[in-house]
Amino acid sequence: MPAKPNYWLVKSEPDCFSIQHLARSPRQTTCWSGVRNYQARNFMRAMQVGDRVLFYHSSTDPPAVAGTATVVRAAYPDTTALDSKDDHYDPKATRENPIWDMVDLRFEQAFDEPIAIGVLREQASLSNMELLKRGSRLSVQPVRADEFAIVLRLAAQGPGSKMAAAKPKPAAKAGTSATRKAKRASKPKTSSTRRK
């Protein structure tokens, strides 16, 4: 019997590499290189082919889960650490001891409407999600199966339902109608790196 997949979240600045970039990549696949945090690296080393991944847009307004991907190659040496011209070059890395690893991810889906972090915070069932913990900054994080399912359900409900989940609608007074307007601003920050 095939092993059940594990679930993960990876962060990327959309100006550098977004879910749309992944969708347009050859074979809709990319190597997830450039991770330079030991704990995040160790999480990648635990990834197996078939694991599913939430793709999170960071350093944008608002940060949001933008879609999903699938692990199609388990961890192997990150060659960008050996390239002195690469932003993620590490002079301590060698071919004998590359230190850093990467995995290959394949595009699965882009959500019609990214799920903003504020919407996630309003879900009581996500209160223990690693992403939402104070001080959580890792670019690769584990996600529980039930958390992954909740995020997918939010994505399927559409923006109207997600807004209702994020902020309960007040009762309308007699003779009036309650309306709501959603303003979304995009103020991406530029950076020479997409992951840490």
Give a three-class secondary structure readout of the chain.
Answer: CCCCCCEEEEEECCCCCCHHHHHHCHHHEEEECCCCCHHHHHHHHCCCCCCEEEEEECCCCCCEEEEEEEEEEEEEECHHHHCCCCCCCCCCCCCCCCCCEEEEEEEEEEEEEEEEHHHHHCCHHHCCCHHHCCCCCCCEEEECHHHHHHHHHHHHHCHHHHHHHHCCCCCCCCCCCCCCCCCCCCCCCCCCCCCC
Determine, yes or no, domain membership for 26: yes
pTM: 0.81
Does pLDDT of 187 surpass 80? no
pLDDT score recorded for residue 3: 75
CATH code of the domain covering residue 135: 3.10.590.10
Domain range spanning residue 74? 7-162
| pLDDT tens for each residue of 24-37 | 999 999 999 999 99
In the chain, the number of structural domains is 1
Residue 158 lies in a domain: yes
Please check the confidence at residue 11 and state whether its pLDDT lies above 60.
Answer: yes
Q: What is the pLDDT of residues 138-174, one digit of tens each?
A: 999 999 999 999 999 999 997 654 443 434 334 433 3
Instruction: Please determine, for residue 124, whether its predicted confidence score (pLDDT) is greater than 50.
Output: yes
